[in-house]
């Protein structure tokens, strides 16, 4: 059983797991900020829905399947901190991660800031 998360974050994660970029973006504020910190690829930062949507489409194309599961969470009215298990199958060769067809398993943390019914900031660390 997954840990409890706010409904807005659950909707975002469900869309992510379904490969539904439009559904992910629908959860975001127009001025959303996104930061991904990874041992494999360093730090990536972007701002705004269009930039997020472009990056999300590129990322989704790299995987034939992907699933985030929330193991633990700490939540409040305007935030969610999630301990996440990530499993994916590569659709393309990715240096540092593997070759097309390989399964990738990661553990990370995701931090969401919520305001006025939208996600305004996401920080993913893996």
Q: Tens of pLDDT along 87-124?
A: 999 998 888 788 999 999 999 999 999 999 999 999 99
pLDDT at 1 > cutoff 60: no
Length of the chain: 126
Spans of all domains in the chain = 7-125
Class assignment of domain 7-125? alpha beta
Task: Report pLDDT digits (tens) over 37-66.
Answer: 987 667 899 999 999 999 999 989 999 999
Contacts of 27 (CB under 8 A, 6+ apart): 8, 9, 11, 12, 15, 118, 119
Q: What are phi and psi of 62, to 5 degrees?
A: -80, -10
- How much is the pTM? 0.91
| Of 85 and 42, more confident | 85
pLDDT value at 23 more than 90: yes
């Amino acid at each position: 059983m997954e840990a409890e998360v706010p409904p807005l974050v659950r909707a975002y994660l469900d869309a992510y797991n379904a490969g539904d970029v439009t559904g992910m973006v629908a959860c975001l504020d127009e001025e959303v900020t996104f930061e991904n910190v990874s041992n494999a690829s360093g730090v990536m930062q972007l701002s705004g829905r269009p930039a997020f949507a472009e990056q999300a489409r590129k990322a989704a194309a790299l995987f034939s399947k992907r699933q985030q599961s929330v193991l633990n969470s700490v939540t409040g009215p305007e935030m969610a901190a999630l301990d996440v298990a990530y499993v994916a199958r590569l659709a393309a060769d990715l240096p540092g991660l593997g070759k097309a067809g390989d399964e990738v398993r990661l553990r990370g943390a995701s931090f969401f800031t919520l305001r006025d019914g939208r996600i305004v900031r996401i920080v993913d660390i893996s």
